[in-house]
Structure 1
Amino acid sequence: MEKKSTKPIFPTGIYGITAEKFSGGRSNLEVVRAMIAGGISILQYREKRPRKSFAAMLEECRAIRDITREAGVLFIINDYPDIALLVDADGVHVGQDDFPVNEVRRLIGDEKLIGLSTHSPEQADAAVQAGADYIGVGPIFSTQTKDDVCAPVGLGYLEHVVRTSSLPFVAIGGIKEHNLDRVLERGARTVCLVTEIVGAPDIAATVRRLQAACA
């Protein structure tokens, strides 16, 4: 009998990402709890060295894994498949210059999600061939959240992915509440807003409002 896959299903709605430097002095754990209180269903831990040591990130991810597991929220770790394995996260997200998808798959197995950031139609096509489970599409608009961010890809690339890609995707990069409708109108069903959420005075209320807009 063929074994049934237990790989998580990629959800629609708001995709949360931690960004402690933009969180107004609040810790990642505080922000995660508030996002979950707002109804988020998928959350990515993103922390770039050398801001934190591996030991500190591991400790933080273990705590977030406990919180997300209890809440039934998917937990993705950016860049670090080793930490994802150690805390039993639901998946890993990598960029074009990180470990290749096939190598990450060898490490984490077939039951966890792998997301891959893409910035062009060619990269979206390659993600399918590489075996990614979902792709990031962006940055849609200009963003300063990441230090090494590429130029905005614009709404045209998003429209291309909506028309042609067989993979689920998350639209990301410079998306704010005031331009969210432009992204949704073009067919995005999972959307990431980083600073708009982690920097909000009331994170839970902001997530609820954004989730309602997506619905």
Structure 2
Amino acid sequence: MSSFDLSLYLVLDPDLCAGTGMVETTRAAVTGGATIVQLRDKDADTASRIATGRALKMVLQGTGAKLIVNDDVEAAIAIGADGIHIGQEDMDARTARNLIGPDMILGLSVETLALAEAVDPMLADYVGIGPVFATPTKPDHKQPIGFDGLARLVAVSPVPSVAIGGLKAEHTAAVLAAGAQGLAVVSAICGTPDPETATLRIAEEIRKARS
């Protein structure tokens, strides 16, 4: 499996990105420093996800940023994506790993200490931990865990972690201080008037927090 950088993880939301479009938002965000882009389009069918994913892959070519598909193994394989991200209700990690093979990145959402401790590092490559805060982009999310909860889950996870849930540039230092490798953002980039500048701001906060 290729190495990957969780530090600035953009989760695309088709509604929030509607003004600029997911492809152009991705182009701008990667120019600004996004290291991973996740295609999350819950309402699309597999064929639509494949079409979008192939366009995203062309934009990401040569940038070093990775393309992850949310919860659609068939689309991820057809696109030739770098990986797949699944929630606890989607499918179990072993099934996903068997379907995608050993080389694709597999991310897993975890919301509780028990789930974080139960992650099998032979199956999952990273976990998305959250939600740190309540977020309108995922109305059915679990109870927010805050930075203290984030730190507790990061501490027991056997694989690298990225924090998610209502995060913005000003939360970067606290996320990294909790031990997560990076932050996943949706509305902090998607739907902003200038996605590149929004991404640059977060990238700068990451640099400051690590220096």
- TM superposition score normalised by structure 1: 0.90
Distance verdict in 2 for CA 1:162–1:150, change over 3 Å: closer
Report whether the alignment pairs 1:42 with 2:45: no
Which of 171, 181, 198 aligns to 1:179? It is: 171
Taking the TM superposition and a 5 Å limit, the aligned residue runs for 1:47-196 are 47-49=41-43, 52-128=44-120, 131-196=123-188
Q: CA deviation at 1:130?
A: 6.8
Q: CA deviation at 1:202?
A: 1.2
Distance verdict in 2 for CA 1:72–1:183, change over 3 Å: closer
Q: CA deviation at 1:25?
A: 1.6
Residues 8 and 203 in structure 2, CA contact (< 8 A), matched pair in contact too: yes
Deviations 1:98-147, CA, capped at 9 Å, x for gaps? 01110011111001110000001110112226721100100001111113
Residues 10 and 134 in structure 1, CA contact (< 8 A), matched pair in contact too: no
- Which residue number in structure 2 is paired with residue 11 of structure 1? 5
Give the match's secondary structure for 2:95.
helix
Q: CA deviation at 1:168?
A: 0.4
The amino acid of 1:123's aligned partner reads: L
Q: Tell me which moved more, 157-166 or 60-69.
A: 157-166
Residues 102 and 130 in structure 1, CA contact (< 8 A), matched pair in contact too: no
- Which residue number in structure 2 is paired with residue 33 of structure 1? 27
Residues 81 and 104 in structure 1, CA contact (< 8 A), matched pair in contact too: yes
Residues 189 and 214 in structure 1, CA contact (< 8 A), matched pair in contact too: no
Distance verdict in 2 for CA 1:91–1:177, change over 3 Å: same
Distance verdict in 2 for CA 1:77–1:12, change over 3 Å: closer
Give the match's secondary structure for 1:117.
strand
- TM superposition score normalised by structure 2: 0.92
Q: Distance in 1 between matches of 2:90 and 2:15?
A: 22
Q: Distance in 1 between matches of 2:59 and 2:171?
A: 31
Deviations 1:166-198, CA, capped at 9 Å, x for gaps? 210100001122333332332222111210111
Distance verdict in 2 for CA 1:58–1:24, change over 3 Å: closer
- Which residue number in structure 2 is paired with residue 3 of structure 1? none
Give the match's secondary structure for 1:55.
helix
Q: Percent of aligned positions with the same letter in both sequences?
A: 33
Q: CA deviation at 1:39?
A: 1.8
Deviations 1:35-70, CA, capped at 9 Å, x for gaps? 111121111100012xx3332221111111122123
Q: CA deviation at 1:77?
A: 0.3
Q: Distance in 2 between matches of 1:212 and 1:99?
A: 36
- Which residue number in structure 2 is paired with residue 4 of structure 1? none
Give the match's secondary structure for 1:179.
helix
> Can you give the 5+ residue segments of structure 2 that lack an aligned partner in the other structure?
none
